[in-house]
């Protein structure tokens, strides 16, 4: 008996041939009719084996495949580059991902949901609340209210949509879940209970059940948690991802100018993965961010958010928080493609975020 040893490339080609044969066999049974692409199983080169691997890694819809890169698919599903490229192109054609009129984009934006912050003044700053399908960044010094806002939004997304949350009306409506990635060890369930008691329609214990907390200890762990959220968002009713804070581990692990390029590249890939989840699953992402001082600046505000241009270009809306008198805080729109630079004042109380 002769034993043949296959190289890694040969194994990949063999797997692709098997998957393609399985797919083609299914196509032939449709009496020569053109195959309609409606699911990932309909894509060329995707048989049961590949479809299972894709689904296990969060690529279980045409949109998720269309938004993926060739490198992502080849590393996840053990595909060749040509097969992965063909899959992506076919998914994009099926979804008609080409140029879209501005009128249609406006209609799509009207369907976006907005989450209340608990403060009417702050909601008006966002023109109705923090919107889904985007990344909103809150940055500022310590004790400016970043973590308090993160806690508050974990509560308010569980309100009905007419109340400023994301839950649909009806007895059988599925509860909306929030993901809280805690990189600094500042999540406190006691604050969630205190904030939830403010709303008569919410049960504090049920609110706690619908908040999934991941304590994060390094950058690799943080990236792994986001990857898991990407998989879970296809099957779970997740409405909000909180990352508190986005850059703390990157700042601690990559020290000095010699590691800056590596840090920024890793951070950039991480943020793009977050944005992909937000767009594919139409959920809101809120990230808090630390600041650092610029000792060479003698005029104006010497603090700047960590992450440089990578974070600045990625976040659709950037909000700077600063302290005021007592428990008052000031939020200012620092950057947004839609919102003008303006400010709002809010207060932090035992029951959460309020107007002054």
Q: What is the DSSP string of 51-94?
A: HHHHHHTT--SHHHHHTS-HHHHHHHH---HHHHHHHHHHHHHH
Gap between the Cα atoms of 113 and 195, Å rounded = 22
Is cis: bond before 325, omega within 30 of 0? no
User: Would you state the torsion angle of the CA atoms of residues 220, 226, 228, 231, taken in this order, to the nearest 10 degrees?
Assistant: -140
- The pTM of the full predicted model, rounded to 2 decimals, is 0.80
Looking at the chain, how many residues does it have?
356
Assigned token pair, 201: 């329609």
**Number of other residues whose CB lies within 10 A of the CB of residue 205:** 9
- Terminal-to-terminal C-alpha distance of the chain: 84
Pairing of β 291-293 and β 303-305 = antiparallel
| Structural domains of the chain sorted by starting position, each given as residue range(s) with its CATH number in brackets | 8-94 (1.10.150.20), 107-354 (3.40.50.300)
Only one residue has tokens 């409405």, namely 239
289: left (phi over 0), alpha (psi -120 to 50) or beta: beta
pLDDT of residue 56: 81
Q: Which two tokens stand for residue 160?
A: 């009905």
CB 134 within 8 A of CB 316: yes
Distance CA 305, CA 279 (A): 24
**291/268 Cα distance (integer angstroms):** 18
| Tens-level pLDDT at each residue, the chain (356 residues) | 455 455 555 555 555 544 444 444 444 444 445 668 888 888 988 888 888 888 888 788 888 888 888 888 888 877 888 888 999 999 988 888 778 899 999 999 999 999 999 999 999 999 999 999 999 999 999 999 999 999 999 999 999 999 999 999 886 789 999 999 999 999 999 999 999 999 999 999 999 999 999 999 999 999 999 999 998 987 899 999 999 999 999 999 999 989 999 999 999 999 999 999 999 899 999 999 999 987 777 677 778 999 999 999 999 999 999 999 999 999 999 999 999 999 999 999 999 999 99
CA 331 to chain centre: 22
Determine the pLDDT at residue 59.
84
Please report the pLDDT score of residue 231 as a whole number.
86
């Amino acid at each position: 008996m002769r034993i043949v040893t296959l190289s890694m490339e040969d194994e990949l080609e063999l797997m692709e041939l098997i998957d393609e044969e399985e797919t083609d066999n299914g196509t032939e049974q449709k009496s020569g009719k053109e195959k309609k692409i409606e699911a990932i199983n309909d894509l060329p080169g995707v048989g049961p084996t590949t479809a299972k691997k894709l689904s296990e890694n969060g690529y279980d819809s045409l949109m998720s495949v269309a938004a993926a890169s060739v490198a992502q698919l080849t590393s996840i599903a053990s595909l060749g580059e040509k097969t992965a490229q063909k899959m992506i192109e076919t998914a994009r054609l099926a979804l008609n991902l080409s140029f879209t009129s501005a009128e249609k984009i406006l209609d799509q934006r009207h369907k976006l949901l907005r989450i209340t912050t608990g403060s009417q003044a702050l909601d008006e700053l966002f023109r109705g609340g923090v919107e889904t399908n985007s990344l909103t960044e809150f940055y500022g010094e310590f004790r400016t209210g970043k973590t308090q806002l993160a806690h508050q939004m974990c509560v308010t997304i569980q309100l009905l949509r007419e109340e400023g949350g994301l839950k649909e009306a009806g007895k059988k409506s599925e509860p909306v879940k929030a993901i809280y990635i805690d990189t600094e060890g500042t999540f406190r369930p006691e604050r969630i209970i205190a904030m939830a008691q403010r709303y008569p329609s919410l049960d504090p214990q049920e609110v706690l059940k619908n908040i999934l907390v991941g304590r994060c200890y390094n950058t690799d762990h943080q990236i792994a948690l986001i990857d898991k959220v990407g998989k879970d968002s296809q099957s779970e009713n997740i409405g909000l991802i909180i990352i508190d804070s986005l850059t703390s581990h990157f700042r601690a692990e990559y020290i000095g100018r010699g590691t800056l390029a590596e840090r920024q590249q890793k951070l950039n890939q991480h943020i793009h993965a977050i944005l992909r989840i937000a767009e594919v699953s139409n959920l809101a992402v809120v990230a808090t961010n630390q600041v650092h001082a610029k000792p060479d600046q003698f005029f104006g505000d010497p603090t700047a958010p960590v992450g440089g241009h990578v974070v600045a270009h990625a976040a659709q809306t950037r909000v700077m928080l600063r302290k005021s008198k007592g428990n008052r805080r000031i939020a200012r729109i620092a950057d947004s493609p839609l919102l003008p630079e303006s400010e709002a004042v809010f207060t932090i109380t035992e029951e959460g975020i309020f107007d002054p």
